[in-house]
Amino acid sequence: MAALLTGAVGLTAVAGCGDSRSERAAARGRAVVAGQQPRAKAPDAPPGPRSIDCGKVACVALTFDDGPGPYTETLLNELHAANARATFFMLGENVGHFPNAVHRMAMEGHELANHSWSHPQLTTMSSADVRSQVQRTQEAIRKASGGVTPKLMRPPYGAVNKRVNSAIGMPEVLWSVDTLDWKYRDTARAEKVAVKEAHRGGIILFHDIHKTSVAAVPTVLDGLKKKGLTPVTVSELYSTDKPLQAGVAYAERMPPAPPKPAEPVAPTRTVRPPSKSPTSSTRPSSTAKPPSKSATPTQPAQPREAGGEGQPATADGDTRH
Ligand code: NI
């Protein structure tokens, strides 16, 4: 997997092609009017994933929660201008209000993901209700996007337990950089925190339902670039790591385990009696699995109560974030 940024670099010059997008839309309309037979591959199918090996490239995943909303298309324009892809953890109840935004997300290569139907704390619900929250949202996204089925779920507030994990039945994505954008609604602050705390393998949490957050994104993208970080979707971030597992939470992609210090195994290998398999005798058992922290990151880097999903706010009456 030596491919580096194959897609990302090649498309830099396409920034700001709103006109060509409308031209494509108009062209699709004309094709329908002319009664042409559908082609084997729909002309507006989502682009495939890019070949980015985030085991070698310094990647960071930008994620946007709780939308889509009235500022989501502005965000899509910003991402397009920077040739950046992001992941949208959407609420099913919002999807039907902004189907064009959801469709654009899919067509422009972003990752569409599930954030429940109505943002409840899933641990307070029955398993059947949790499943309903997830599945209704899957269906809404599939419908609005033209057939994309999300593969990832972010539980509201990061609140899960073993039972909820089982009911969700999808890999769960938390975060490692919390901008607290929902709390401060301060563009300059969001820009500063996101760029400063961004790190290789990290997952940055924003909320695209806030105008102040969307306004921060161009500066954030610029700052990430200056730090040598490539913005990717969550699935791209993990594409060359071990496959994500249902019911397991991921907060960031851990760097590869450092090389093991030299150990005096070579001399003993040749004299050891063949009581063990060759592989177990040549390598210490610790190589069977990376350090536990990098194997299955199950907690965000920050305490959950400090998470961007945060506690339901009370001071300003905003019970969501
Ligand atoms: Ni949320």
pLDDT band at residue 263, thresholds of 50, 70 and 90? low
User: Which CA distances in Å does 92 have to 67, 108, 155, 175?
Assistant: 9, 20, 13, 21
Q: What is the pLDDT of residue 2?
A: 35
Assess whether pLDDT exceeds 90 at residue 39: no
In this prediction, residues 169-189 reach a mean pLDDT of 98
Classified as helix, coil or strand, 36 is coil
Length of the chain: 321
The rounded distance, in Å, linking the Cα atoms of 242 and 295 is 9
The rounded distance, in Å, linking the Cα atoms of 105 and 193 is 25
pLDDT band at residue 238, thresholds of 50, 70 and 90? very high
Q: What is the Å distance from ligand 1's center to 99 Cα? A: 19
Residues around the ion ligand 1 (C-beta < 5 A): 65-66, 156, 309
Q: What is the Å distance from ligand 1's center to 266 Cα? A: 52
Q: What is the pLDDT of residue 284?
A: 35
What are the pLDDT digits (tens) for 40-49?
444 578 998 8
Q: What is the pLDDT of residue 258?
A: 78
pLDDT band at residue 309, thresholds of 50, 70 and 90? low
The single residue listed with the structure tokens 């985030």 is 54
The domain locations on the chain are 66-254+297-306
**Which residue out of 65, 178, 181, 208 is catalytically annotated?**
65
What are the pLDDT digits (tens) for 68-119?
999 999 999 999 999 999 999 999 999 999 999 999 999 999 999 999 999 9
The pLDDT > 70 percentage for the chain reads 68
DSSP state of 302: S
Q: What is the pLDDT of residue 216?
A: 98
pLDDT band at residue 296, thresholds of 50, 70 and 90? very low
| CATH 3.40.50.2000 correct for 66-254+297-306 | no
**Which residue out of 110, 115, 207, 321 is catalytically annotated?**
207
Instruction: Indicate if 97 belongs to the active site.
Output: no
Q: What is the Å distance from ligand 1's center to 241 Cα? A: 26
Q: What is the pLDDT of residue 71?
A: 98
The C-alpha angle with vertex 72 and arms to 68 and 77, in degrees rounded to 5, equals 150
Q: What is the pLDDT of residue 265?
A: 56
Between 219 and 24, name the one with better pLDDT.
219
Q: What is the pLDDT of residue 255?
A: 80
In this prediction, residues 308-314 reach a mean pLDDT of 41
Q: CA torsion sign, 244 to 137 to 63 to 172? A: negative
In this prediction, residues 18-43 reach a mean pLDDT of 39
The rounded distance, in Å, linking the Cα atoms of 262 and 16 is 53
Assess whether pLDDT exceeds 90 at residue 208: yes
The rounded distance, in Å, linking the Cα atoms of 78 and 72 is 10
The rounded distance, in Å, linking the Cα atoms of 166 and 294 is 22
Provide the whole-model pTM: 0.72
Q: What is the Å distance from ligand 1's center to 17 Cα? A: 31
Residue 238 · residue 248 · CB < 8 Å: no
Instruction: Indicate if 207 belongs to the active site.
Output: yes
Q: What is the Å distance from ligand 1's center to 289 Cα? A: 33
The rounded distance, in Å, linking the Cα atoms of 179 and 185 is 10
Q: What is the Å distance from ligand 1's center to 273 Cα? A: 58
Q: What is the Å distance from ligand 1's center to 312 Cα? A: 10
In this prediction, residues 5-16 reach a mean pLDDT of 30
Q: What is the Å distance from ligand 1's center to 232 Cα? A: 20
Assess whether pLDDT exceeds 50 at residue 319: no
